[in-house]
Amino acid sequence: MKFSRNLLTSIRYTCLLAVILIGFVAIVGTGGGGGGGGGGATTPATTTDSDNDDDDGGTGDTTPNASCGAYVAPGVWKEFDCYNLAAIGKTTGDDPFTPSWRLIGGYWQWGRKGPSSSQWYDTNTSNFAHGPTGPGSSEANDGAISAWDASDAPDGALSDAFKTSNDPCPAGYRVPTESQWTGVDANNAQSIVGSSWSESITNYSSAYLFGDDLMLPAAGLRYDYSGSLYRRGSHGYYWSSTEYSGGIRSAWTLYVRSSNAATSSHYRSYGGSVRCIAE
């Protein structure tokens, strides 16, 4: 069969037009123009960190982009470390949302930096107590600490305005302010983890969950006068950088228990948990 030149030309143009139309339909169907298509998949929006604080999409602090964190104000997301400071689980890669003794971490006096990180897991000092070294009662590190300093750190040892040299958090992180902890309490769904919230030196099953991305173990507290442990399994106490202004040398903590979370003040010589927040 012979085809005329005009017929071949017509076929070529018809095929070209079909290719163009197919391409156009594909672009519209997948939302390739950035506005999203009707039934096709859309490309997730990307954000840039214009204020260079590694926590969001700019100065509004509104876009979660960290594996752990919470809202500290309506629409304002902040990254938190996934683990308590000095938690063995951070070095072993434990799931930060499955309670265990490895998530407890150390206990710091407010306004005191504590020992070097090489001593976090097995050393008690005058202002720091290490966490448990295993699940058993002999590994709980619950007793009094003979060198414990019962005095309180001075005003200005920590600050809401800037990270001081006494802040134990690593580079890029700091101790949260009381306002940030209050914001966490007010702006996130809350639930408890674990069926037993009874006080026990070996109860590592209880924790408090804010939203889906911030879990705080009920690690307890170290007494201000002796450094001995109390309320492990029933309460958790997390330091803020904020001084209490009531005339005594106290500082604000966020405490968690099975019924609720709230902020309260404690003497600075208590040993509390530290959960660092991104600067």
CA 8 vs CA 4, 12, 42, 122, 174: distances in Å: 6, 6, 40, 85, 74
> What's this model's pTM, rounded to 2 decimal places?
0.77
Percent of the chain with pLDDT over 70: 76
Q: Which two tokens stand for residue 111?
A: 């306004």
Q: For the stretch 25-56, what's the b/e string if a residue is b when 16 or more beta carbons lie within 10 angstroms of its beta carbon?
A: eeeeeebeeeeeeeeeeeeeeeeeeeeeeebb
Task: Report whether pLDDT(22) > 80.
Answer: no
Q: What is the pLDDT of residue 248?
A: 84
Mean per-residue pLDDT, 26-39: 34
**pLDDT the model gives residue 247:** 73
How many other C-beta atoms can be found within 10 angstroms of the C-beta atom of residue 158? 26
114 φ/ψ sector (left φ>0, alpha ψ -120 to 50, else beta) = left
Distance of CA 12 to the CA centre of its chain: 62
pLDDT tens figures, 221-235: 999 999 999 999 999
What digits encode the pLDDT tens for the residues 128-156?
Answer: 999 999 999 999 999 999 999 999 999 99
Q: Distance (Å, rounded) from C-alpha 34 to C-alpha 65?
A: 21
As a whole number, mean pLDDT of residues 102-120 equals 98
